[in-house]
Amino acid sequence: MKQYELKDGVNYYGFLDMETGYDYHAKKVIPGTQSYIREGIPGVVCKNLYDLEKISMQLVKIEAGVASPITDYTCHPDCEEITLILDGEATLELPDGSAYELKTDVSFYLAEGQPHRIVNRSLTTLKYVVVYSKTLKDVKRVSFHADTDTYKNENGCVVKDINECQQKMAPGFTGNKADEGHSTSIIFEGNNICFLHPIQKPGVSSPEEDFVSHPGVDELEFAITGTATVIMPNLGLKLTPRIMRYNAPEQPSKTFNNSDEDLRLAVFYSTGQLKNVFRTHKHARVFDVLNED
């Protein structure tokens, strides 16, 4: 087992409050996380959470009675999209007349160039996170007009309720055995991004011993329900449903569900295939854990 020392003596991570933009690592509101109204659509408010070269994330809210876009459809020609509904109800519409009902814990994957439209016909605000396979400045929005444009992306949309996806024992982080009480389901594997839904039982730590890191990929994660303590060398932080966590490649950490309820996580990687997410198991030198809320 290799001993682990922090590069430059520093943890490279983010711990961002999704509502306020406050980062508990930087100890300040991160520039660029301010809310803004989507171009030409009053009632659609976006907040940029993380903006990395190969993966980015926004928090989006659509008010009751609002459609995005207002007419026709929109698409991202060179970019994949994974969306997870956090709260509310709406309809995802496609140019071929297909319609999918959206509600809490429903997720959908859109391939590059897939035209789509979200319509909130409910009486409450729709709230969701959307993950793109590029930095936000490179996510182009192109209008698609069903009456004049040719629809070619019939197989570019998949919708799932994450609670109905099969859970399997999570791969072993501790030696070669699986971590007891830790299961996961693969929601989507795309070309450049993927989405997992792990569940940890109360009292379960992943990994059971030491730390795990993922070389070569960026990881974005938050608690859907439940709370936990994320432990890194020298540091422990509380993970809650409104905290979005970023793990840089090689950032060592472990997640300990020290609550009395299941911890349900949403985890996104900057690669399309889980086979590309390598796990490096590392043993830290002696350290003190400093707990911060």
Which residues of the chain carry a pLDDT beneath 50?
1-4, 285-293
In the structure encoding, which two tokens stand for residue 10, read together?
């520093």
* C-alpha triplet 126, 131, 136: angle, nearest 5°: 105
So what's the pLDDT on residue 180? 76
pLDDT at 293: 37
Q: Which fold has domain 34-163?
A: Jelly Rolls (2.60.120)
Block residue for tokens 């409910």: 122
- Quick one: pLDDT at residue 288? 37
Annotated domain spans of the chain = 3-26+165-292, 34-163
Q: The whole model's pTM is what?
A: 0.91
- Work out whether strand 182-189 and strand 194-200 pair parallel, antiparallel, or are unpaired: antiparallel
Superfamily of segment(s) 3-26+165-292? Jelly Rolls (2.60.120.10)
Domains 3-26+165-292 and 34-163 share a fold: yes
131 contact partners, CB below 8 Å, separation of at least 6: 55, 56, 57, 81, 82, 83, 193, 195, 220, 268
